[in-house]
Structure 1
Amino acid sequence: MSAPASLSRDAAELAAVQPLRPVDRSRWRGLVLPAVAIALWALLSWLDVVNSALLVSPQKVLATAADQIVSGRLWRALGASLAREATGFLIGTASGLVLGALLGLWPLFNRIVGPSFNTFKQISLFAWIPLISVWFGLGDVAKVVFLSLAALVPVVVNTCDGIRTVPPALLEVARVYGFTRWQTLAQVVLPAALPAIFTGVYLALIYSWLATIGAEYLLVAGKGIGNTLIEGSEHFQMDLVIFGMFVIGLVGWLMNASARALERRLARWTGRA
């Protein structure tokens, strides 16, 4: 018998002997509660236990979802919200990275600006709405400014903390090897602070999406998924309100899942570095 044939037979016998890998069901456990909630919702609607004007049936929500999707109203509203969210997130994150790096790397700047920033971050985000609406109106510019503030604070805090908590032993090794300041920053400080920086960026992504809905509620000019909820509430269309809430939750879940996947890749890259 030839060697390849013998190897194939040995591999087949080994596969037959080895037990099958158990199926990982843990990833599906998170679907149990939503499935139970939807089943209970459908049962209550079918039994007509709750006033149908307050708790519409799942079938009506699905019909509204189909109408919103086919007519394109969902895509126009969601596109407007995501465009605002992306713009505010990018502006706030970029500004936060710069400010956080200055606070973490420059002690004099931290002593001068740090106390003012610590006071600034204690102010509730929604307390800025009256001032923003007076300065920038109720349009997209005001909403983007609001979202930028939402993204700014977590990025600044985590970037500054990540830089300032770099282990002194790493800095000592860089000094022993004669690294320049820029080499130390690029090859030691940045990789060590990267997990904390990414945490700030991740929080900025989530906070800016939550702030998007708040801004569209409070600064009501223009289109957006938040305005879809307002429209449903004003016309007492609970099917439109529930559909809008599902869309907001789904988009937030997708953002969270994407950020977590990127974080895992970043962790592997940082470990190799």
Structure 2
Amino acid sequence: MSGPARDAAELAAVQPLQPAERSRWRGLALPVAAVALWWALSAADLVNSALLVSPGKVLATAIDQVASGRLWRALGASLAREATGFVIGTVLGLLLGALLGLSTLANRIVGPSFNTFKQISLFAWIPLISVWFGLGDVAKVVFLSLAALVPVVVNTCDGIRTTPPALLEVARVYGYTRWQTVTQVVLPSALPSIFTGVYLALIYSWLATIGAEYLLVAGRGIGNTLIEGSEHFQMDLVIFGMFVIGLVGWSMNAAARAIERRLARWTGRA
């Protein structure tokens, strides 16, 4: 390597991290400190071991769950329910949100009822759903669909109804038809808000998956893993299940944010 190139490489090696890189590493400080404190407390026997098991025991449980396939069966069942409820709720939410946003008449007729509906706590539907659909997968998918429906409807309707008047005026000047105005002006303008609704639906449906499995206990799922650990007082299994739930939620959030950034670049080029 030549002298200037070697000097540049050495300078890059000692150059401090950029702000974004430092921020990313700083985010690990709290989890690492929490795990270190957890390890120290369990090693020193300062907390009842039945209530706070050691990280080593949780790791052993994780290895057993993975090797035996129990984790994949439970997680697969939960993700299948989540995906089904998310798709159903999102599709219905897009249709209803578009109807409320584009039609003043529909908004006057359906809007008040929907505004009342969305004020009802999601978990308040559990007794009714369990009576109508039982405790199986159908009931859980209905529950998850409700969780995904509301944010998609709200954000789709708001995105459409807040289209800048200047854009609508340009469409009118150019003689756009109603269909051209909707497809080429209104929907592209509302796309960020619509994606926000879909993103919230993805997160809410995953959170609702755990709640549905915990309250509608029939079947298999990662929520049932928590129940099993709690009933048998296996705190290692409970903590492992919580780690899995958090990791899956984090992965969904990261994937959604990556898609959002790609979508923003695409709409910017368009």
Task: Give TM-score scaled by structure 1 length.
Answer: 0.93
Match for 1:264: what amino acid? R
CA-to-aligned-CA distance 1:108-167 (integer Å, 9 cap, x gap): 000000000000000000000010000000000000000000000000000000000000
In structure 2, C-alpha distance between the alignment counterparts of 1:225 and 1:265, rounded to whole Å: 31
Measured on the aligned residues, the alpha-carbon RMSD in Å equals: 1.6
Instruction: From 45, 60, 64, give the equivalent of 1:67.
Output: 64
What pairs up with 1:58-207 in 2 under 5 angstroms?
A: 58-207=55-204
Q: Which residue of 1 aligns with 2:44?
A: 47
Ranges in structure 1 where 5+ consecutive residues have no aligned partner: 1-8
Q: Which residue of 1 aligns with 2:257?
A: 260
The CA deviation at 1:16 is: 4.8
The CA deviation at 1:229 is: 0.2
Is 1:230 aligned with 2:253? no
Deviates more, 1:115-124 or 1:260-269: 260-269
In structure 2, C-alpha distance between the alignment counterparts of 1:14 and 1:268, rounded to whole Å: 34
In structure 2, C-alpha distance between the alignment counterparts of 1:177 and 1:272, rounded to whole Å: 22
In structure 1, C-alpha distance between the alignment counterparts of 2:105 and 2:23, rounded to whole Å: 50
Match for 1:45: what amino acid? S
In structure 1, C-alpha distance between the alignment counterparts of 2:106 and 2:130, rounded to whole Å: 31
The CA deviation at 1:265 is: 0.9
In structure 2, C-alpha distance between the alignment counterparts of 1:14 and 1:220, rounded to whole Å: 64
Deviates more, 1:247-256 or 1:19-28: 19-28
Identity of aligned residues (%): 84
Deviates more, 1:254-263 or 1:16-25: 16-25
The CA deviation at 1:17 is: 6.6
Ranges in structure 2 where 5+ consecutive residues have no aligned partner: none
Cα 1:14–1:63 shift into 2, 3 Å: closer
Is 1:248 aligned with 2:245? yes
Task: Give TM-score scaled by structure 2 length.
Answer: 0.94
In structure 1, C-alpha distance between the alignment counterparts of 2:266 and 2:6, rounded to whole Å: 34
In structure 1, C-alpha distance between the alignment counterparts of 2:162 and 2:269, rounded to whole Å: 20
